[in-house]
Amino acid sequence: MRIEAAKEKVILLPINPTVLASLRETAKLYTTHYSTMIEGNQLKPEEVKEVIQHEGHFPGRERDEHEVKGYYAALAQLEQYAAQNHPVTEKVIKTLHALVMSDGRSRVKATPYRDGQNVIKDGGTGTIVYMPPESKDVPGLMRNLVPWIKENEELPCPIVAGIAHYQFATIHPYYDGNGRASRLLTILILHLGGYDLKGLYYLEEYYAKNLLGYYRAINVGPSHNYYFGRVESDITDWIEYFTEGMAFAFEKVVVQMIASSEKGEKDHSELMRTLDPKQRKALELFKDYDVVTSKQIGDLFGFQPRTNSALCKKWVEGGFLEIANQSFKSRKYSLAKKYKKLLDI
């Protein structure tokens, strides 16, 4: 109920595109910081920002820099999948993992699952904390997980996301990067299920600030061996932990948005509510450009050229955009006059 209440408040609270873009970028940076921090990354938030913006280099911490760039690139791809309403598939998961393990390259080959056994050990004692399923069982387990995510309609989306997070980490389909990939999968499921909250939240802070609680919640069962411990474990405690983290993150977004509105930003909530989610996102382009091309709009969502043109035509007919020039080949668009007030700070 706390998650749903916060979700409704975020939908109804007015926020202009300039502030929204700033808060969204901050959320992406902190998501990257906290998710890599869980894995031991030592870069601070301001250093993460410098690395992402190609404004800083930290000798001796090249691995940390590569992790940050890779995770940020995966987040960008995730946003495209969500904008396209692309369902979760094994290829999607493998591509997100490949980006996580890259150094920020946009073009990667989908990562195959591991072909051998791996174990998770305690960093201090060296004892085995968890032994995942054998590699021969991984493909089948993943084939079962993906359709369950897509076809499960009887459970609320947050519960589906929590179970998927747990099961992916339990299968542990890769030698490395499983934690980051599982958290990305969680975000994608939530975004596709309508729980994107304008892209302003980051679940990872809740985990990172209490790592012992995170590991205690996700490591359940009587044995460290998958076949004798986690395969049929009761994961109620994990689901409670996960949904509590969602509520924490969502309520933090509400506080941020209320603070933004109290700074004197103009209330154009009624006009903002007339726009669909894609139009609201497109407003961000007009924060930087007076006129844009259909390609720029398409790039924002990862669409194909034909889709770009059709969308622009629909928006012109609906009064959201105006044609800035009549040239068919190099047609440009401006924001309709009545919507320009939404760009005011």
C-alpha closest to that of 186 among 174, 176, 198, 201: 201
Confidence of residue 265 (pLDDT cuts 50, 70, 90): low
Identical fold for domains 2-260 and 269-343, yes or no, is no
Q: List the CATH code of the domain at 269-343.
A: 1.10.10.10
Q: Which residues pair with 321 in a beta bridge?
A: 335
Which pLDDT value is given to residue 345? Answer: 43
Structure tokens at 260: 């933004």
- 295 Cβ contact list (under 8 Å, min separation 6): 305, 308
Highest mean pLDDT: which range of 181-190, 195-204, 212-221: 181-190
CA distance 60 to 200: 32
Both tokens assigned to 274: 């007339």
The verdict on whether 33 is a catalytic residue reads no
Which residue bears the tokens 């916060």?
6
pLDDT band at 233 (very low <50, low <70, confident <90, very high): confident
Active-site choice (86, 172, 191, 224): 172
Between 102-106, 277-281, 328-332, the lowest mean confidence (pLDDT) is in: 328-332
Q: Where is the binding site for ATP, in residues?
A: 176-183
Q: So where are the chain's domains? A: 2-260, 269-343
CATH number given to 2-260: 1.10.3290.10
Binding residues: 176-183
State the burial class of residue 123 (Cβ atoms within 10 Å of its Cβ: 0-12, 13-18, 19+). Answer: exposed
User: What confidence tens digit (pLDDT) does each residue in 67-86 have?
Assistant: 999 999 999 999 999 989 99
Question: Any residues with CB less than 8 A from the CB of 239 and at least 6 apart, and which?
Answer: 159, 162, 163, 166
- Grouping H, G, I as helix, E, B as strand and the rest as coil, residue 97 is helix
Residue whose tokens read 């960008």: 76
